[in-house]
Structure 1
Amino acid sequence: MNKVLSAPQSSKDEMIKRKILQSARTLFIEQGIENVNMHQIAKMAEVGQASLYRRYTEKGDICMEIVLEECQPLFDDVKAYLDQSTDIPVLDRLYQVIIKFVTFMEANVPWLCSLSRATPGYRPLQSPLYQFMRTTFRELLTEAVERGDVTAVDVFYTVEVLLAALHNIDFHIRDHGFSTEKILLGLHRIFIEGLKK
């Protein structure tokens, strides 16, 4: 009985959530994230303030949810690739994941960075995007160590250095004028060729 009653409520909640996120996304793009407030989001979504605040206590919470949605295609792509490529050498798989990340960031950097900076307690390398990449890189490097494919390496430190390099991609592209190809070649030289036995 409860399951029958909860299904429509769950569907209604999901619909309200979608309206809020879509309205926020539209407002953020049109006006800039810093120029949008919770009242505007509620008004555009046509939901009451109480309904909005029951789901999100502040604008940064909405930003965090949008960041997760924006990153989900990358997460799915990486997972699917790794599931289908177990027969490929580990360091080659690692490099393909790096390529996927760089390509994703190049296409999404200004928007994603603005959203991330508006999230509560903004710490870029602790965001869901970097947590996912951290876990993925650690698993791949650990496998490479166990297989004897790499020289003695501190997996945790190496992953943090790789994440720091990846985090500055927008700076390297915009301010230094490095091409994506140049960045990927450099990352390959340091983190793939540099680690091979």
Structure 2
Amino acid sequence: MPDHTLRRDDDKISASILQTTESLFSKYGVENVSMHQIAKTAKVGQGTMYRRYANKGDLCMDLMKENFQDLQDSVRHYLENAGSISVKEKLFAVFKKQLYFLERHSRLFETIHSFSTSTCESAKTNFYEAPPYVFMHTLIRSLLEEAIRAEAARPVNADFTAHTLMASINPKVYIFLKKEKGYTTDEIIDNFSRTFLEPLFF
């Protein structure tokens, strides 16, 4: 069988698995769906399933790719059309987009994060090395560096600060603040800005 035919068949199987996963997650919740259930519903063998995805963390990471592409495109479009807006405003806007994105997909992010930090089972792609994390970290670091060069922000370590800013909106913390503490998304955004972003700028 030609290589392109095999690739097409593999793509169809992967697409079927991801579509089934998204449907089951929406219906039952991420934490209540097993890998076995996904494979059975998608009508693929367990071996086929695990050759593609070692665990739900890997599945969630692939499932997030298309959704994250939308966020990435939105952020890029915003920055390309931001004109003379200050770096501070740009940074605030980027984090606001990210927090709303997290709100829509918090359960998937929580699963990705839990598998990437687990001591007994880890995703094939480390959460902190995955393209979505790398993209956002690089963007935030660049904006901080721009603000520091313009002497609009304090001379902090931009790389370190970008990592810690992203860590402060860990999916588990976000869900805790929403469900246990009763904060709304807008309240989280407001408090995040006043607590973490405002102090960085003069």
Which secondary structure does the structure 2 equivalent of 1:166 belong to?
coil
2:193 corresponds in structure 1 to: 188
Aligned to 1:140: 143
TM-score by length of 1: 0.78
1:175 corresponds in structure 2 to 180
Q: CA RMSD in A?
A: 3.0
Deviation at 1:97, TM superposition (A): 0.3
Q: For 1:1-197, list aligned pairs within 5 A.
A: 6-118=3-115, 120-121=121-122, 126=128, 128=130, 129-167=132-170, 168-197=173-202
Q: Do 2:64 and 2:108's aligned partners in 1 also have CA atoms closer than 8 Å?
A: no
**Which runs of 5 or more residues in structure 2 are unaligned?**
none
Change beyond 3 A, Cα 1:36–1:188:
closer
CA contact (8 A) 2:56 2:112 kept: no
Q: 1:177 to 1:27 in 2, by over 3 A?
A: closer
Distance change >3 Å, CA 116–CA 73, structure 1 → 2: farther
TM-aligned CA deviation for residue 16 of structure 1: 1.5
SS of corresponding position for 2:168: helix
Identity among equivalent positions (%) equals 34
Contact 1:63 1:116 in 2 (8 A): no
Structure with greater Cα Rg: 1
Judged with a 3 Å threshold, the aligned counterparts in structure 2 of structure 1 residues 9 and 175 are, in CA distance, closer, same or farther, namely same
Unaligned residue ranges in structure 1 (runs of 5+): none
Quote the offset at 1:93 in angstroms. 0.6
The 1:146/1:62 distance shift into structure 2, 3 A limit, reads same
Indicate if the aligned counterparts of 1:150 and 1:195 stay in contact, CA closer than 8 A: yes
Q: CA deviation at 1:146?
A: 1.6
Give the superposition deviation at 1:140: 0.7
Letter in 2 for 1:46: K
